[in-house]
Chain A
Amino acid sequence: MSQKRIVVKFGGQSGQGINTIGKLFTKSLNKSGYKVFAYREYPSIIKGGVASYQIDISNSSIGSSSKYCDILVAYTPETLNEYLPLVKESGIVIYDNKDINLTEDQDAFLKNNNITPIYLDSVSIAKNSGGTEIMSNVVVLGFVWKILNLKPEILVEEILEHFKKKNVDLEAEKNSIMGGFNSPTYRPELTDKIEIPKISEIFKKKSLVISGNEALSLGAIASGIRAYYGYPMTPATSIFKFLGETSTETGILVKQAENEITAVQMALGSMYMGTRALVATSGGGFDLMIESITCAGITETPLVIVLSQRTGAATGVPTWTGAGDLNTALKGGHGDFPKCILSCSDVHSSYTLIQKAFNISEKYQLPVIVLTEKQLSESLYTVNSLPNDLPIERGLQDGALRYEITDNGISPRWIPSKEKTVYIHNSDEHNEEGTSVESSEEVLEMSDKRMRKMTTLLEGIPEPAMYGDRNASIIFVGWGTVKNTILDIMEDNKDIGYLHYEYIYPLKTDKFEELISTEKRVILVENNQTGQLGNLIKEQTGYDFKEKLLKYDGRPFFIEDILNFLNM
């Protein structure tokens, strides 16, 4: 079955309820048997501006957005201006705001592209249904639902379930939805314009509608974290929210620290004592944690930091996506010390890699940085289930010397307890006993021991995954959420393949070397300005990418970005 997708975009002001509308719509579609991918754009302000919630709807699993939409719901004149150019040919534009007056240019755009504008008097419908003005939001949902020719019961049930806990008139809510659904503004030719994909019965199983940060948080809980230390920073903050809101059930200690340095230091203290503590932040907060990462490195204290990326240096474009923080994860920190970098790309890898991160961090006694992106952190995905849990591996081992010199670089580490030998973690260079040293021999001996862990770790992690047909002649190489866009395209393009780096550092290069030894067209694809993974690959293999597709405008890779690059 080939992959079909139609796209509905809701545009309004920040704080207008777009997020709630989008989520309810997404969940209702999922319950109706569709696979969806929901993507948010919003400004870094509380009220106003232009925000959107785009839902790509498909008959098979998707993990990316199209740049263009079939139906645009514009709640404000500003969103209409912003998003009208992104409506597909033969699409529909719905607006319910009396202040919206189409300009001559917009009128011409509609006509030239056979786009149907619909004015829906949603406020009157809501009021006639016994509702309030705010219920006009669900009137519009009912109307769109009708255009999509879907069963209204599912939508009503989902919306009422959501508002049940809030102080609203549920009867009026229901009547408003149905008021929109049964509105005389509807005409059957609207449905004819939008070809909603047919779904086979096997797909009609209820799946999970979940964001990357939720999956990552669940993975962290499953892996036995008992503390979370954080400081608010988009787009990592929803990890704090999820762990906080579930802390009654889980018993996890959730602490909002006074800053990121405190958060990471608390984690170091807790990890030293032998529990598992999580820290999550974004670029700026991560930079503040870097000195502590070097401390974890030299003291061989396990540490796991989630770095959820957004766009740009300093404050940058704070509510938009990107994958430009690989360099800070990779190169940040003074001195040479072992570390590990993993990169999530979807719900499954978010759930699994955070578990892997704790295992690696404890077994190899080093800092692990788990990269994710706003695109993954906050978008909603539909998945049938989460993958199986990994077993907890802690690598605990009793010994006499905490920093014993070993062949594989890994020294014994045991949880501090009354019955066991005491030891010190020392940020000074130290000998096997942890005593500060400065002699040439001792400095070399311990530095070499520590760095041997990288060789051991490299043997223990997988090569990048190759996706697609063996005969595909165009191979993209990338990391992070660009994977989903390319995999979505590959459904219908057997000539495209993709080499995906999930374990970024230490870097595995065998599969890559094999790839470049063929005649295939190899293209680097990254959501940053300089091709940071490409530079790492070049550093380690000497290979200079001849073709690069780099995007760094705060937007994720849309389907069209890849297709246009290939002139498809």
Chain B
Amino acid sequence: MSVNITDYNSKNIPTWCPGCGNFAVHTALKKALSDLNISPSEAFMSFDIGCNGNGADKINIYGFKGLHGRSIPLAIGAHLANRKFTVIADIGDGGCFHEGLDHLIHAIRSNYNITILIHNNENFALTTGQATVTTKKNKPMYGLPFGRIERDLNISEFILNLKPTFFAKAYSQDPLQLSEILKKSINHNGCSVIEIMQLCPTYNKEFTHEWATENIKKIDSIEGYNSNSLESAREILKDTTKIYTGIVYEETETKSFYDSLENRKNMKTELVDEVKKYDIKKLLEKF
């Protein structure tokens, strides 16, 4: 039986602001999952706290809305327990690069087979517009009339420096491209990171659809671009005059975390299938 995109619809009405990028991101997600014929009961999503997390009960899927900054390790735990599930961790630029940055670093280097969706709307929106690491320097923000004084962090470069096995950038108002990227990331056996440049018409008025349309360049359109080359990836990420969307970098040489576990090599079952009495008699021989 084929999966329909509407299978993912929840009866709850979204609470995002009019024009919020999250509407299209959810549509892209539902499209990618249903295109891959993955049913809502075959996928798990963890949600962070923030506007992305307010979408947790707006999609019909096995889900867990947890704590701020922690959606990545929560997703990893779910993935390791049952790899039959497609696992996606949803998080914003605030939760990912402030509260829980350690998790991103170790998830990428461990190469768990999950997809991390970073909603980059360049601010902490749900708490009404505080500065994040991606907010433009000196832009007046909540509590900061003269803006953030600390230096910028180019989060795309940061992510690439961790050598993710899959890294893509997308734009919230291009759900078709995002859903194609999502499908590739779900099929990638390793840690996939997707940074979504997301509209926030309430707190990031400078980043408009018009501006984005003019300044976005699709990686697919770059002649000779090699998504297996870190060099190519570095080149385009350095160019801050444009936003490049598409698959920035991918490689399939590095094994996923689970596939590297010696003691799980010959196990046919998942951890969730194995909860039963275990006879410790043999282990007692060493005492």
Tell me the A residues contacting B by CB distance below 8 Å.
Answer: 208-210, 214, 218, 221-224, 226-227, 229, 246-253, 255, 257-259, 261-262, 265-277, 291-292, 295, 299, 301, 386, 389, 391-392, 394, 415-428, 430, 434-436
Contact = CB atoms under 8 A, between A and B. Distances in A.
10 contacts: A209-B287, A221-B283, A224-B278, A270-B81, A272-B78, A275-B275, A277-B77, A416-B85, A425-B65, A427-B67
Given A273-B78, A422-B40, A291 B85 contact: no
B79 interface: yes
B42 A222 contact: no
A258 B102 contact: yes
B145 to A, nearest CB: 31
A261 B70 contact: yes
**Interface range for B:** 35 or more
B287 A214 contact: yes
Interface string B105-122: 110000000000000000
A226 B271 contact: yes
Given A214-B287, A265-B77, A269-B74, A291 B278 contact: no
A268 B85 CA distance: 16
B235 interface: no
A434 B64 CA distance: 10
A223 to B, nearest CB: 8
Given A266-B77, A270-B81, 20 more contacts: A227-B77, A247-B263, A249-B282, A250-B283, A251-B274, A253-B261, A261-B73, A265-B77, A266-B73, A269-B77, A270-B80, A273-B77, A275-B81, A291-B67, A392-B276, A418-B84, A424-B63, A427-B67, A436-B54, A436-B56
B283 A246 contact: yes
Interface in B60-108: 60-67, 70, 73-82, 84-85, 102-103, 105-106
Contacts of A415: 272
Interface in B26-53: 39-42, 44, 46, 49
B57 A418 contact: no
Contacts of B39: 418
Contacts of B105: 258
Contacts of A434: 57
Contact of A427 (B54, B66, B261, B263): B66
Contacts of B103: 258, 262, 265
Nearest to A390: B277
Contacts of B78: 269-270, 272-273
A409 B90 CA distance: 31
Given A269-B75, A292-B67, A227 B287 contact: no
Interface of B: 12, 39-42, 44, 46, 49, 54, 56-57, 60-67, 70, 73-82, 84-85, 102-103, 105-106, 261-264, 267, 270-272, 274-280, 282-284, 287
B12 A435 contact: yes
Contacts of A248: 262-263
B85 A251 contact: no
B120 to A, nearest CB: 22
B102 A269 contact: no
A73 to B, nearest CB: 25
A566 to B, nearest CB: 36
Given A209-B287, A292-B67, A424 B56 contact: yes
3 nearest A-B residue pairs (beta carbon): A269-B77, A266-B77, A265-B73
Contacts of B76: 265-266, 269
B57 A221 contact: no
Given A266-B77, A269-B76, A270-B77, A275 B274 contact: yes
Nearest to B276: A224
A392 B77 contact: no
Given A214-B287, A249-B282, A262-B103, A422 B272 contact: no
A272 B272 CA distance: 10
Contact of B272 (A251, A275, A386): A275
A266 B112 CA distance: 12
Given A208-B284, A221-B283, A222-B278, A422 B61 contact: yes
Given A269-B75, A273-B85, A226 B275 contact: yes
Given A218-B283, A427-B67, A273 B81 contact: yes
Contacts of A301: 64
Given A265-B73, A269-B46, A269-B79, A435 B41 contact: no
A224 B64 contact: no
A274 B70 contact: no
Nearest to A252: B263
B65 A422 contact: no
Contacts of A299: 64, 66
Contacts of A425: 63-66
Contacts of B40: 422
Nearest to B54: A436
Contact of B66 (A208, A250, A268, A275): A268
B106 A295 contact: no
Most B CB within 10 A of own CB, among A218, A267, A427: A427
Contacts of B61: 422, 424
Contacts of B46: 269
A424 B80 CA distance: 19
Nearest to A292: B67
Given A218-B280, A295-B66, A416-B62, A277 B81 contact: yes
B264 A253 contact: yes
A227 B271 contact: yes
Contacts of B67: 265, 291-292, 295, 427
A78 B82 CA distance: 54
Nearest to B38: A418
